[in-house]
Amino acid sequence: MLQTALVTSGATVPFPQLISTVLDPLVLTKLRELGFSRLIVQYGKGFRREFQEMLANASQASNVADTFLECAALQRDAVDVAQCEGLQIIGFALSGKIEQIIVHEAQLIISHAGTGSILDALRAHKRLVVVVNTSLMDNHQAEIADKFAAEGYLVSATATVESVTQCLERVCHSDAPLRSFRSERSAPFQQLLTELAFR
Q: What's 96's domain CATH number?
A: 3.40.50.2000
Torsions phi, psi for 70 (to 5 deg): -85, -5
pLDDT in tens, 136-159: 766 677 888 888 888 888 999 999
Q: Residue 60 pLDDT more than 60?
A: no
Is 0.95 surpassed by the pTM of this model? no
What does the pLDDT read at residue 80?
81
> What is the count of structural domains for the chain?
1
128 neighbors 5 (Cβ within 8 angstroms): no
Sorted by sequence, the CB contacts under 8 Å of residue 5 that are 6+ apart come out as 31, 36, 38, 39, 40, 106, 107, 108, 109, 110
For residue 37, the enclosing domain spans 4-198
